[in-house]
A and B are shown apart, each in its own frame.
Chain A
Amino acid sequence: DGGITQSPKYLFRKEGQNVTLSCEQNLNHDAMYWYRQDPGQGLRLIYYSQIVNDFQKGDIAEGYSVSREKKESFPLTVTSAQKNPTAFYLCASRDYRGQDGYTFGSGTRLTVV
């Protein structure tokens, strides 16, 4: 079955540590996205990538970094510079037509203590 896999489902980190969230897709989609969900805030775009080795900042990129070395993978690193890293993180991908919008992963809940 094709889909997007985010791992782990739950992640705990100490304040000041960098942490990398995994996102892998086998849908052969070109574009991939990272969103953050906070209570009452909806989904906010962090970074996106339309092709391998290229990515752009979204609306709330500060304190985050990404890479896109392979079509299937789009890892997100939450750095110590991110002031409020505790959130639910969602990865998504899109085929070239985009008619059905995005396909989302099941998310990673990051808690920084």
Chain B
Amino acid sequence: DQQVKQNSPSLSVQEGRISILNCDYTNSMFDYFLWYKKYPAEGPTFLISISSIKDKNEDGRFTVFLNKSAKHLSLHIVPSQPGDSAVYFCAARGSNYKLTFGKGTLLTVNP
């Protein structure tokens, strides 16, 4: 049973526009959510996170929104740049600090 779902395997946007990546979860015990960025043949790198007690966290071009009632979070990238092209993983923290990851969304930003 998939507890963290990223329903869009891929997303393509134009440079300068907004990228919106979505993530849904089922476990209401998750208390912390993170986004990771991954290039091929490399390890994921931490991008931004949000606690379950907040509904928004912003860091430069990246903003994460959390809707607890809908069990939904989203990552907004504005403006999108070609260097943002990568796979983005949503992750949720449960008991024992274990992270459960979604399957990822491949973002392509076209010049």
Chain A contact residues, CB within 8 Å of chain B:
4, 6, 9, 31, 33, 35, 40-45, 48, 50, 56, 58, 88, 90, 92, 94, 98-107, 109
Q: Which residue on chain B has the smallest CB distance to residue A103?
A: B46
Q: Is B53 an interface residue (CB 8 A)?
A: no
Residue contact B103 to A40, C-beta cutoff 8 Å: yes
* Surface stretch bound by A, among B12-20, B76-84, B93-101: B93-101
Check if A104 sits within 8 Å of B104, measured CB to CB.
no
Which B residue sits closest to A59, measured CB to CB? B100
Q: Which of A42, A45, A94 contacts B102 (CB 8 A)?
A: A42
Are the CB atoms of A90 and B43 closer together than 8 Å? yes
Q: Are A101 and B96 in contact (CB under 8 A)?
A: no
Classify chain B: how many residues form its interface, as a range.
20 to 34
Contacts of A90 in B (CB 8 A): 43-44
Contact of A101 with B34 in the complex, beta carbons under 8 Å: yes
Q: Which of B32, B96, B101 contacts A50 (CB 8 A)?
A: B96
A42 x B98 contact (CB < 8 A): no
Most buried by B among A33, A41, A107: A107
Closest residue of A by beta carbon distance from B34: A101
* B99:A102 contact, CB within 8 angstroms: yes
Which residues of B from 19 to 46 have beta carbons under 8 Å from A?
32, 34, 36, 41-46
| Contact, CB under 8 Å: A101 / B9 | no
User: B56: shortest Cβ distance to chain A, in Å?
Assistant: 17
Name the CB-closest residue of B to A94: B97
Task: State in angstroms the CA–CA spacing of A13 and B54 once bound together.
Answer: 47
27 intermolecular pairs with C-beta atoms under 8 Å apart: A4-B43, A6-B43, A35-B101, A41-B103, A42-B89, A42-B101, A42-B102, A43-B44, A45-B99, A48-B96, A50-B96, A58-B98, A88-B41, A92-B43, A94-B97, A99-B49, A100-B34, A100-B46, A101-B36, A101-B93, A103-B46, A104-B43, A104-B44, A104-B45, A106-B43, A107-B42, A109-B41
